[in-house]
Structure 1
């Protein structure tokens, strides 16, 4: 075979191999491109977002709430002013309208003695109170709470045991009268406007005495 024949015969084969190689490179490039693209996409891209549990709970709670219901009071907030009867002068009887009457029998200026924790000795006023029960049923005197306040702003006066403190105790039968003695530290120059309250039962208006004392 001559050299010309050999060259002519090899030409088509070499061109064919070039085309095969070019096609193979293109195929490999396409495969690599799709492989990289699919691996780089987030796996959950098509998935629907999971709703937040807190959002679901809030929506359910709001849907079930009664718009007419009273809000639940916060324990950390003050409960508000306790009910009280109309104030009377210290020398007048206070009547709750149901047969229970409270009176300040005497008001005596004394020198208060500090004998318990938190007490402050000094000028004080000793109050002797009477409680008359005509309600037709017994009254638990252990529920009675007596407090004294000074001035328009009702600053609490410090309570004392001595001299002569003797709080109400026991049970007061209908038709009977009981006596209690309470002592409060009240400076002499602040006795022109003093309020004394007598709470005898939770939820019931307290007796209120207001005026000059001592």
Structure 2
């Protein structure tokens, strides 16, 4: 035979036991009060930027330089699910390592925005070949980025290049050819 017993607090004289401290009540040694969740940073610190025209070289204090070789309008054809056919912008970017050590380009980010604020949407159509890998001292690497952007030809655009996470950003302005 199986006997089950219910567990209940023992009857007391009416006083309830003091609650055990919760995780929010436990403080590190030397702390007098718990910080509010909203006391910490809410956004990342802005990265320094440098402006230039398309075709001009931006040389950062870090020893890396970048240039937008060309910004051209093309028509891309969707070849895989999720791609879209239509007008696109191809941005060709060259980065040069002027330091004494290899630099990673694996986290390089390039974006395009039209002057009216319309963002270029990155696509795998049109044979993109982004900057990747390790860039040896004194060497250059070229990347090709493709963005969907309606009526691209002749539009004024801003192209931002962040060659590595946390590093300065170059912002290039010019017309799509």
User: What TM-score does the superposition give when structure 2 sets the normalisation length?
Assistant: 0.72
> Which structure 2 residues correspond to residues 8-157 of structure 1 after superposition, within 5 A?
44=12, 46-53=13-20, 56-57=21-22, 60-61=25-26, 65=31, 71=37, 79-80=43-44, 83-151=47-115, 153=117, 155-157=118-120
Q: Which residue of 2 aligns with 1:7?
A: none
Q: Following TM superposition, by how much is the alpha carbon of 1:125 offset from its aligned partner in structure 2, in angstroms?
A: 1.4
State the alpha-carbon separation in 2 of the partners of residues 205 and 122 from structure 1. Answer: 32
Whether the 8 Å CA contact 1:130–1:178 is kept in 2: the answer is: yes
What is the Cα deviation at residue 102 of structure 1? 0.6
1:122 shift after superposition: 0.9
RCO higher in structure (CA 8 A, sep ≥6): 2
Q: Is the 1:119–1:159 contact (alpha carbons within 8 Å) kept by the matching residues of 2? A: no
Residues 127-159 of structure 1 show CA distances to partners (whole Å, capped at 9, x for unaligned) of 111111111111223232222233464x53222
Shift of 1:162: 3.9
Q: Which residue of 2 aligns with 1:163?
A: 126
State the partner residue of 1:35: none
Q: Which runs of 5+ in 2 are unaligned?
A: 1-10
Task: Decide whether the 8 Å contact of 1:110 with 1:123 is kept in 2.
Answer: yes
Deviation at 1:92, TM superposition (A): 2.0
| C-alpha contact 1:89 1:211 (8 A) present in aligned 2 | yes
Q: Aligned pairs, how many?
A: 165
Structure 1 runs of 4+ aligned residues shifted over 4 Å read 62-74, 78-82
> Which residues of structure 1 form unaligned runs of 5+?
1-42
The structure richer in strand per residue is 2
